[in-house]
Amino acid sequence: MKIRALTREEWKYVYTESQQIAGQTGNIGHLRGYFDGEGDIFDSRWFGQRTDLKTEEFKREFDEVINTLRSEEYGLLKNRFSMRKYVGRYPDSAHEGNYCTEYGFRVSTDKYAYLLRCNTNKGDYCLYCYCYIAEWLDRHIKNAAKGIRFITPHYEELFCIPDGEKIVIEDANGKKEEARCRYIDDYHVEINERLFHICQFAELMQQIGSTCTPLEQNENETKKNRLNQ
């Protein structure tokens, strides 16, 4: 097996996703692990996603991967001290999470990809390991790199944003709401975990008298207006 730090794009896939994204990426499920108070005993729980993909082949290999990561050779999951030592050797694995620094790694085999999100803080879950069909995951990441298109009801392109970024929806009364967007395929988008065809969303915006703009553009316009005041 091969192990390396997560790329920026892969970090999106070390959290629980919607059924649509899980299906596109071949998400089999994930393992959540923790060390005891002393940091020595490792315990875990499995959360299934696609039971049809959890084959005997996968289960055997997954056990081997986890056991290897707990071995003296790797030490990533041996205990909390070893985890801190291991991540310290890979500074490019660090990522600022919601409330602390986390560390991400991808373990690759011939068929599967295991994406690990690690936390070395006492009292927190130390591991989330999301398991994928590698070919499906890599294909989805490659396609998502094209970005998410927003169009008019007549299929005229308005703008395009990177996968995982936000838009600002402004209603007819001027009320604004931020919404995170995820790429599904070239014609479907997930907006605040709700699935839309891109034309369906454009028609909805027209019907209710709302508009949408990229969050970055909205923030830049707000800063510009403040400077001009």
Q: How far is CA 209 from CA 175, 188, 190, in A?
A: 12, 21, 20
Task: Classify residue 12 by its DSSP letter.
Answer: G
What pLDDT sits at residue 220?
56
Q: Judge if pTM exceeds 0.75.
A: yes
SS3 14: coil
Q: How confident is the model at residue 224 (pLDDT cuts 50, 70, 90)?
A: very low
- C-alpha distance across the termini of the chain, in Å: 59
- For residue 173, pLDDT over 60 is answered with yes
> Can you read off the two tokens belonging to residue 62?
């997954």
pLDDT over 90 for what percent of the chain? 76
- Alpha carbon distance 193, 44 (integer Å): 28
pLDDT in tens, 114-135: 999 999 988 888 999 999 999 9
pLDDT in tens, 36-77: 877 777 889 999 988 899 999 999 999 999 999 999 888 899
> Can you read off the two tokens belonging to residue 3?
């192990």
Closest alpha carbon to 69 in 11, 98, 109, 29: 109
- State CA 224 to chain mean position distance: 32
Using left for φ > 0, alpha for ψ between -120 and 50, and beta otherwise, residue 174 falls in left
> Can you read off the two tokens belonging to residue 96?
């600022």
Q: Are 56 and 228 in contact (CB under 8 A)?
A: no
